[in-house]
Amino acid sequence: MARNDLIYDLCLWFFNIILDVFFREIRPRGAHRIPFEGPVIFVVAPHANQFVDPMIVMRECRRRVSFLIAEKSMHQKGIGFFARLVGAIPVIRPQDLAKSGTGTIQLLNIKSDPLRITGLGTKFLSQLHPQDSITLPKGVGMAEVTKVISDTELLIKKEFKDLKAIEALTSDEGCLYKCTPHIEQDSVYKAVHETLYQGNCITIFPEGGSHDRAEMLPLKAGVTIMALGAMAAHPDLNVKIVPCGLNYFHPHRFRSRAVIEFGSPISIPPEYVTKFKAGGTEKREACGKLLDSIYNALKSVTVGASDYETLMLLQAARRLYKPAHRKLHISQVVDLNRRFAIGYDKFKNEPKVLELLQKVLAYNQLLKYHGLRDHQVNKTALGGPRAFGLLLYRVAVLTVWGLLAFPGGILNLPIGIVARVISAKKAKEALKASTVKIAGRDVLATWKLLVGLAFIPALYAVYTLVMFVLVLRTNWPLKWKLLTPVFTWNLLPFISYASLRFGENGMDVYRSLRPLFLSIVDPASVENLRAVRDHLSHDITNLINEYGPQVFPDFDAERISAAPATSRPTTPTPAASAAMKLAGGFFTSKVDWLDDKIFNWGQVGDSETDDIFFFVDKQGSVSGRASSRGSASEADEERGARFGTGTSRSRSRSRTSSFGTGLSGEGFKVEAMTELPRDRAFAEVTTRSKDGTLGKREAGKEDDGYAGDREDHGESKKDI
């Protein structure tokens, strides 16, 4: 079915609402690399969130795209309906048509005849044909059938080499198997080629299906056949392949965070197209080389780890390395995680690395014992009467948020229960039908959204009907009897969303109580925990500074240095003074003022120059900015200092520093692995306008820390 752009845009608007409700934050990175026109293939990995992944790509890619979707999904009522509206291209996957084979199979002569499969009670002649495949349980092996000799004997193309597969096939009782038919995809390739020829975009998940593994699955070669085939069929076509990495923080959880990163477009060399046209081994060589390029490009925009435990360990080490005086955006967190994974893979057998990993594991156990998260450790330094006063204040704020969230929570409680039950059931079904999933978590978010879309209108209709029945029993005028249900129907979504935000803020406040409580009842224990963290952070930083240059040529531990403590503040101009008052919270709420000024929570451990960073380039010139507090953080680090306001706002302290002789002092080094541009500190650069006031130039919607990696920076940054 041809796609209607207006309907596509309406669907995208609807998907945006869904994503804004389900996720707390979605941050794009590198979207400026996407070509604004011409045929583009978006290759997306890892496919960790089933039908939520396509919606995020649609939202952030800035182009209208056609998705390749499993043909069986087109038969699901909700999914199929929206897929047809946005012009998705259905693909019949062989694994979706696989059927259990009759009897069991064996490999009798593994050394002399490893390609001959013998059946026990099998019906090969009716269930299998040449080019079909036999698949072993739990994904331990698959083989293409070359010849069916009889009902109990066939030949395969390549021998099984996996030890688990050989063990199963050589057992006395034989091995169960599935018959997977061979599917010709000519119609799919034709539809893709036509879409690309018209200058449109295709999105494909080259892993072949969604999964919940920590590492990226092997890529299917179909994307290379689509790209090379389109250019072979249309010689004047120039197809670009854009790698897209999806990085989630708890992908299946409600109100989690995500980062979507777009890599540099891959241009297809003409010689690949020539080899593709030649066919045979040259065609396979061209497809293989292009697939390797795509895989490497995807590795550069995703965080890879051998398993989930390793990923969690690397994230813990990254948090300990993170500059203590700078809060990172979630896209910067993803970049650090990726770099840590690359470095760990290279040096994981080094004695120093192994020793530090054991220390990190021990530190994680200490955190678990205290019931804290890493970002909360430094919050235990307050102590004394101020901590007790702040604890009482936070409890009061939590009570207020709880009361405000209560109505919506009760109204939507049935939906939460039903969504949880159904999504868990679907996860079990998906796990049973898959050979690559670990727990089926990749389908949870999709089914939570589908249940919400189906049950929320139904539940609100019930509430409206109840209200209508109640008002009919009153003596109200007819007009109000009719208008009250209408008001109820329209008011319920606003009540639910407001309660959601109130509850979210309340949970943030609740999580902040634990470090306060420990700082009062067990100050010695948390003081020891802080000392352990500081020592471990120092060791990890030194290790990174030692090994970092061996992995990343752009690594520069001294690129970021804080202002010296001896520097004195200058006397600001009236205009600058007004701007600094505004940045320092001059117009903040009374709740903020009470939280910061009376209890001094937000300033524990701060110095006069903690938030001022200077960036020294190779020529020795200096530029700088005041870092903003309260910027977007990673999912496992909840909003910290100002829970009383219910918002997470970036506010700079009213602090300045001399840029004159003060720089001759010894600065405190803050090491960093992030790839910051040397000619610009951040994309959000503080500049001085013509009238002398301070203003900020934002880089649009993209990540503030990385939008400056464009080749064309536009205006040059002025020194402050």
The DSSP string of 370-384 is HT--GGGGGGGG--H
Q: In this predicted structure, what is the pLDDT of residue 306?
A: 64
d(CA 19, CA 248): 13
Q: Which two tokens stand for residue 563?
A: 């202002």
Identify the pLDDT of residue 340.
82
Distance separating alpha carbons of residues 640 and 544, to the nearest angstrom: 27
In angstroms, the CA 1 to CA 362 distance is 58
Output the CA–CA distances (angstroms, integers) from residue 488 to 91, 423, 500, in the order listed. 44, 29, 18
Residue ranges of alpha helices (H) inside 434-522 are 444-472, 478-521
Which parts of the chain have pLDDT scores under 70? 1-2, 305-309, 322-329, 556-720
Length of the chain in terms of residues written: 720
Contact call for residues 242 and 266 (beta carbons, < 8 A): yes
Quote the DSSP letter at residue 94.
Answer: G
Whole-angstrom Cα distance, residue 260 to residue 692? 38
Q: Could you give the CA distance from residue 9 to residue 118 in angstroms, rounded to a whole number?
A: 55
Q: List Cβ neighbours of 130 (8 Å cut-off, separation of 6 or more).
A: 145, 146, 147, 148
- Angle 439-334-314 from CA coordinates, rounded to 5°: 65
d(CA 259, CA 331): 6
The two three-digit tokens of residue 165, written as one number: 């597969």
Tokens of 511: 């999580």
Task: Dihedral sign for Cα 180, 185, 191, 192, please.
Answer: positive
DSSP 596: I
Q: Which residues contact 193 (CB under 8 A, 6 or more apart)?
A: 226, 229, 230, 233, 234
Q: In what order do the strands lie in the sheet with 622-626?
A: 560-562, 612-616, 622-626
Which residue shows structure tokens 């897929």?
83
Neighbour-count burial for 312-347, b at 16+ CB within 10 Å, e otherwise: ebbbbbbbbbbbbbbbbbbbbbbbbbbbbbbbbeeb
CB within 8 Å of 67: residues ≥ 6 apart = 54, 83, 86, 88, 89, 202, 203, 204
Please state, as a whole number, how many other Cβ atoms lie within 10 Å of the Cβ of residue 176.
14
pTM score: 0.71
How distant is the alpha carbon of residue 610 from its chain centre? 30
Residues 609, 565: contact at Cβ < 8 Å? yes
Cβ neighbourhood burial of 142 (10 Å; 0-12, 13-18, 19+) = buried
Q: Which of 371, 328, 644, 330 minimizes the C-alpha distance to 508?
A: 644
Alpha carbons 120 and 104: distance in angstroms, whole number: 5
Domains and CATH numbers, the chain: 5-93+186-299 (3.40.1130.10), 96-180 (2.40.30), 384-521 (no CATH), 556-709 (no CATH)
Distance CA(257)–CA(646), nearest Å, equals 18
Q: Write out 338-354 in H/E/C secondary structure.
A: HHHHHHHHHHCCCHHHH
What does the CA dihedral 334, 340, 342, 344 come to, rounded to 10 degrees? -150
Which of 266, 187, 182 is CA-nearest to residue 228? Answer: 266
Burial of 455 (0-12, 13-18, 19+ CB in 10 A): middle
Please write the tens of the pLDDT for every residue from 579-628: 434 333 333 344 444 444 444 444 333 333 222 222 333 333 333 333 33
Q: CA dihedral in degrees (133, 295, 28, 442; nearest 10)?
A: 30
CA distances from 121 to 49, 102, 110, 131 (A): 40, 7, 21, 22
Q: Strands 116-120 and 153-156, how do they pair?
A: antiparallel
Contact of 207 with 45, CB cutoff 8 Å: yes
Q: Is 395 left (phi over 0), alpha (psi -120 to 50) or beta?
A: alpha
Q: What residue type is assigned to position 125 of the chain?
A: L
Instruction: Identify which of 349, 368, 264, 316 has the alpha carbon closest to the alpha carbon of residue 547.
Output: 349
How far CA 219 is from CA of 224, 269, 597, in Å, comes to: 10, 20, 55
Q: What's the token pair of residue 369?
A: 């014992």
Q: How far is CA 67 from CA 62, 71, 92, 145, in A?
A: 15, 12, 14, 31
CB 135 within 8 A of CB 177: yes
Rounded to whole angstroms, the Cα distance separating 385 from 28 reads 43
What tens digit of pLDDT does each residue of 408-423 get? 999 999 999 999 999 9
Q: Which helix (H) or strand (E) holds 89?
A: strand 89-91
CB 512 within 8 A of CB 640: yes
Is 626 in contact with 420 (CB distance < 8 Å)?
no
Residue type, 629: R
